[in-house]
Structure 1
Amino acid sequence: MLNKKFWYLLLVLTIFAFLLVACNSESSDEPEDEDPDTEQEEESNEDEEEESEQEGPVAGGEIVGAMDTAPAGVFNPIFYQEAYEANILDFTHEGLVSQNDSLEFIPSLAHDWEINEDQTEITLYLEEGVTWHDGEDFTADDVVFTYTTIASPGYVEAGGIRTEYVTPLEGYEEFNAGETEEFAGVTAEDDHTVTFHFAEPNVNPLYYVGFPIIPEHVFADVAIEDMPTHEATLDPGKVIGTGPFAFTDMVEREEYVLTRHDDYWQGQPYLEKITWQIVDQSVITSLLETGDIDFVADPSGVPAADYEMVEGYDNVELIEQPDFGYQIMGFKLNYRTEEDVEAGTIDPDNWVENPDVADQQVRQAIAYAIDRQGLVDGLLYGRGSVINAPIAQQFWAYTEDVPQYEHSTDEAEALLDDAGYVDTDGDGFRENPDGEEWVLELAYPTGNQIRERSAPVIQENLEAVGIKVNLRQPKEMSAYVEDVMENDVDNGVDLYLIGWSLGSGDPDPSGLWNITAAYNMSRWNNPDSDELIFKALEAPDAFEQEFRKQTYQEWQELFATDLPAVLLYAQNKIYGFNERLNGIDPLPYSMINDPHLWWVDDAE
């Protein structure tokens, strides 16, 4: 999901060298007929020493990971939309920089960088000897091509949603409008040096230069509108990255195969193959126990209900940490017109207001009506937390000093009464202020069982205060996301459930919540929100973290008051992996970290 995000960045550290084990025979002048017990003891000690010498990374072997939902099928960093596709791309593509477990930026495809004094330029020095999966050299031209494509006219219309990475760059508006032929925002100084030029001093330039890079030689002759359906976006063997594994095979909606990139620039990965299998969430834990799968990671992980059971498995290790994201029930405040949907444009001037959730008091009443702590206790078994602000809890910008909406049917009913939503015909459900039937359409996707089970609980909570809710037939995630993002008046969704995995590079919420963000599924149109979002990025004040923190606190209070979505909970991430798998070193936002260093101790 997530920052978009990406929002979703790869981390690379120093590589271990392969351990070469040399078994040397030593001659002895001692008599051949020495004491047998002594001889056996010496042989036993030698065996133990040899076994000890062999401990450590071993090349070879395969592992299997599990996802409960199949990827939608877009394996291109500039066009993919959901976490299941990211599970492939996290192994295949890389950015110029990455992050460590303290969320500090560290080198990746760029080994060093310089930022000018007023922070309007950052020059990065790229690793030499990096090759794409097809053997072509990675150069600065690939970086320029990637960012130029995202900035180009037609990118959004083709379904692209990553413009947050290019909008601050010099010349974006002119280039995107077709007024210039060259994009001035990113330039190649030579094959291994690239400079990013910002229109204004930028408080966090490393965040914007970290987007995964795509190969120019593959896509240079492909029209932007054709990229999402091109074979290099869709087909195994055609998807080309610089990462430690290449996407080589798939049985669609069943399994997705990643094969070792032997010429990987940080050294040949230990594992030969990683296969993602698509399995029902209800059987993931049993497959972990039997060893049929080796790991389960994002986005769902090990179900909270199964934690204690899996903890008892002798062959499985668990990692639990707070989610770098949250689950929401969004309000569809505005609809796009059918014409805008067909054209692929997001134009707030054309939006049509949804009267069923337009009243702020109604949205606040709904927030009071939902027993969020009950969801955490009942569905997450306490392995999560209720949150009230849409910034990751791990960031310095997060605050709880906002309206809390603790569960209260009394508060909910009082707000609804005050807004004029009352039961006029005695059927137990409220009519709207015009006396007309008021039914809210709640949509949700399949795949995540906790989210699926949340939907009828929310329906029950809302009907307890007189709000009639129609649960729509759940859809598979890829179809669901398209449906909600492109939702128009005729489709009529009022409420939707979704989870966001947030970008780890910066607390900036614009990728999800600024007015024209593609992922602003609520179509929240609040100019005060945008003013605060952009104020938190404006120099020189934004160079002071305390200023940004205060601005984001104001924005979070505005969000929690106007309420384009109810923040349901942040579910603890529970990763599980077979003890045969080594080298796992999770980050605050992902289990997938340096997979070229993963290895299995039973490799042959």
Structure 2
Amino acid sequence: MVACNSDDPEPADPEETEDPAEETDNGEEEEEDPVAEGPQPGGTLTGAMYSAPAGMFNPIFYEEAYEANVLDFTHEGLISQNENLEFIPNLAKDWETNDDQTSITLFLEEGVKWHDGEEFTADDVVFTYRAIADPDYVSSGGIRTAYVLPLLGYEEYNSGETDEFQGVVAEDDYTVTFHFAEPNINPLYYASFTIIPEHVFADIPITEMPEAAESRDAGAVIGTGPFKFTEMIEREQYVLERNDDYWQGAPYLDKIVWKVIAQSIMTGLLESGELDFIADPGGIPPADYETVEAFGNIEIIEQADFGYQLLGFKHNHRTTEDVEGGVLEPDNWVPNEKLDNPEIRQAISYAVNREGIVDGLLYGRGQPINSPIAVQFWAYDENAATNYNYDPEKAEAMLDDLGYVDVTGDGFREDADGNEWVLNMDYPTGNELRERSAPLIEQQLEEVGINVNLRQPKEMTAYVEELTNDNTDWDLYLIGWSLGSADPDPTGLWGTKAAYNFSRWNNPESEELMQKALKAPEAFEQDFRAEVYADWQGVFSEDLPALLLYAQNSLWAYNERLNGVDPLPYSMYNDAHLWWVDDLD
């Protein structure tokens, strides 16, 4: 081990180091205690995240990566993925699909226990999906309807026409079948959602579930994962303890402790040993890469991120009535006249120096991207989308042609009718790179005569709430997305009625293409889907619900005392029950 404390003694002389035993005063040799090799039970790991979780620890309702840092260790789905993004067994040990791809039957692991000792069964699977399909799910804040939309009988159940949900059926305690309304090209994806316990939530109405202790309080949150969520000091510290009854074997570690720490001091704490790992979201800052690499006691994992940062354009706003009613109804949306012309959005995009942001803030550890599909997917096509390279002269010429010129002589352009044209821009705190990007983008837009009102940043929880409601005067916004790794389907973020479609983008051609890419039988062929998604990427980059800024390299770092880390393309948190530390007393 490498010393990380200046108070450690000087190294032994070479002669003493070579001798496995030393003589006592009476001339007899005294054997040293043997050094244990291999995994040993015990020990605590401390991880850091730069923003506090909003406090939602129910898999069907959480929204942010910060809650996921807890849920990734406490809850599980039927299906997982390997390093090649292939589906592999998890809570389901095997499966079979019928001939016409309208149903898939999964055979569950037996003997799996929830954290409170109750047995995991097929009824829990049925309950989870029925909850997501519930008529009150979306109005209660739920955002994961993508997993139930293709299921048989969803529309009837969600509309209240029937109390029976045909989409997911328990054949017996350890067998569950998913039925689809039409042949489905990717049934394992829809069967992969994280499961919640029926016995915990059965008596809690869906409207009350988000505020229930079982969704929020340490000790009350129950999963099947390798660690239990047992303690928290809200917005400061979150403690996970070993699940001794974990179905894949008790974890080696005693605890994993999450601390909420400013990103600016994380690196120093990693060096001192007060932190053991920094991973999602963000990892270590790119500017600190060489510093961390020189520590000597830290391992760094660098790979392309499964996500991106964006500058969003508000196409439409919801009405206050729809926000209060908890509905997403595109027919009621109010167009944002300040950005309603796609050529305006294109001009703005040419005015942003994305390459400069990557070089200056990311130190080259990332890349500008033009498509909202992860670069690791077969569907990503860099040639299908417009490359908005930095070209301020082109931006100015486009705005001039649209009649957006400086009428008053104050250096800022008025709109085509000669009215004041000010774009409000909002962004959240927490991510240093995003915080530093905001004033740079403001400056670059103002250099081409666009008057930007860069407002005070908000803490992430308040920011997401306001962004979700969006019945106010937002125009431009910054946010980052960690993408799902199961399939390139972008509907969950960019479908018209997707909760995460914060731009309120409503483009019929986009909708048609996204549905076409999922429609059997043609969509059983990957080449067909790739062609359709290429067309969709072209539509996206022309109509521009957002300018994709960059995909940052993931820079996960952990102390070399931690063993057993086997990262996946999208996460460092793989098989955490096999993690162990080698410096136990």
State the TM-score, normalized to the length of structure 2.
0.95
**1:543 aligned partner:** 524
1:583–1:423 distance in 2 versus 1, CA, 3 Å: same
**2:276 aligned partner:** 294
Q: SS at 1:188's partner residue?
A: strand
In the alignment, which of 391, 395, 399 is matched to residue 416 of structure 1? 399
Per-residue CA deviations over 1:413-432 (Å, capped at 9, x if unaligned) read 11111222111111110001
Structure 1 position 602, deviation (Å): 1.5
Equivalent-residue separation in structure 1 for 2:55 and 2:175 (angstroms): 33
Equivalent-residue separation in structure 2 for 1:385 and 1:65 (angstroms): 27
Q: SS at 2:170's partner residue?
A: strand
Equivalent-residue separation in structure 1 for 2:486 and 2:32 (angstroms): 49
Equivalent-residue separation in structure 2 for 1:106 and 1:372 (angstroms): 37
Per-residue CA deviations over 1:482-520 (Å, capped at 9, x if unaligned) read 1011111xx201000000000000000000001000000
Per-residue CA deviations over 1:502-554 (Å, capped at 9, x if unaligned) read 00000000000010000000000001001000100000000000000000000
Query: What pairs with 1:16-95 in structure 2 (closer than 5 Å)?
Result: 50-51=34-35, 54-95=36-77
Equivalent-residue separation in structure 2 for 1:420 and 1:111 (angstroms): 63
1:248–1:308 distance in 2 versus 1, CA, 3 Å: same
In the alignment, which of 438, 444, 448 is matched to residue 427 of structure 2? 444
Equivalent-residue separation in structure 2 for 1:201 and 1:90 (angstroms): 31
**2:143 aligned partner:** 161
Q: Does 1:572 align with 2:553?
A: yes
- Structure 1: state its 5+ residue gaps: 1-36
Per-residue CA deviations over 1:270-329 (Å, capped at 9, x if unaligned) read 000000000100000000000001000011100000000000002111111111000000
**2:450 aligned partner:** 467
Structure 1 position 55, deviation (Å): 1.6
- Structure 2: state its 5+ residue gaps: 1-18
Q: Does 1:453 align with 2:453?
A: no
**1:327 aligned partner:** 309
CA contact (8 A) 2:20 2:32 kept: no
Q: Which amino acid aligns with 1:459?
A: E
**2:3 aligned partner:** none
Q: SS at 2:104's partner residue?
A: strand
Q: Does 1:255 align with 2:244?
A: no
Query: What pairs with 1:393-412 in structure 2 (closer than 5 Å)?
Result: 393-401=375-383, 402-412=385-395
1:90–1:427 distance in 2 versus 1, CA, 3 Å: same
Query: What pairs with 1:244-323 in structure 2 (closer than 5 Å)?
Result: 244-323=226-305
Count of equivalent residues: 562
Structure 1 position 434, deviation (Å): 1.1
**2:480 aligned partner:** 499
Identity over aligned residues, as a percent?
A: 66
In the alignment, which of 333, 337, 349 is matched to residue 355 of structure 1? 337
Q: Does 1:174 align with 2:151?
A: no
Equivalent-residue separation in structure 1 for 2:293 and 2:110 (angstroms): 44
**2:184 aligned partner:** 202
Q: Which amino acid aligns with 1:101?
A: E
Q: Does 1:435 align with 2:418?
A: yes
Equivalent-residue separation in structure 2 for 1:290 and 1:382 (angstroms): 27
Equivalent-residue separation in structure 2 for 1:516 and 1:544 (angstroms): 27
Q: Which amino acid aligns with 1:221?
A: D
Deviates more, 1:560-569 or 1:418-427: 418-427
CA contact (8 A) 2:426 2:478 kept: yes
- Structure 1 runs of 4+ off > 3 angstroms? 37-41, 43-48
Structure 1 position 603, deviation (Å): 2.5
Per-residue CA deviations over 1:194-224 (Å, capped at 9, x if unaligned) read 0000011111111110100000000001011
Equivalent-residue separation in structure 2 for 1:462 and 1:73 (angstroms): 36
Q: Which amino acid aligns with 2:55?
A: G
In the alignment, which of 557, 581, 585 is matched to residue 600 of structure 1? 581
Q: Which amino acid aligns with 1:519?
A: Y
**2:6 aligned partner:** none
Equivalent-residue separation in structure 1 for 2:418 and 2:497 (angstroms): 34
Equivalent-residue separation in structure 1 for 2:50 and 2:386 (angstroms): 35
1:182–1:427 distance in 2 versus 1, CA, 3 Å: same
State the TM-score, normalized to the length of structure 1.
0.92
Q: SS at 1:507's partner residue?
A: coil
Q: Which amino acid aligns with 2:435?
A: E
Structure 1 position 45, deviation (Å): 13
Q: SS at 2:177's partner residue?
A: strand
**2:120 aligned partner:** 138
Q: SS at 2:45's partner residue?
A: strand
> How large is the RMSD of aligned CA atoms in angstroms?
1.5
Equivalent-residue separation in structure 2 for 1:242 and 1:331 (angstroms): 40
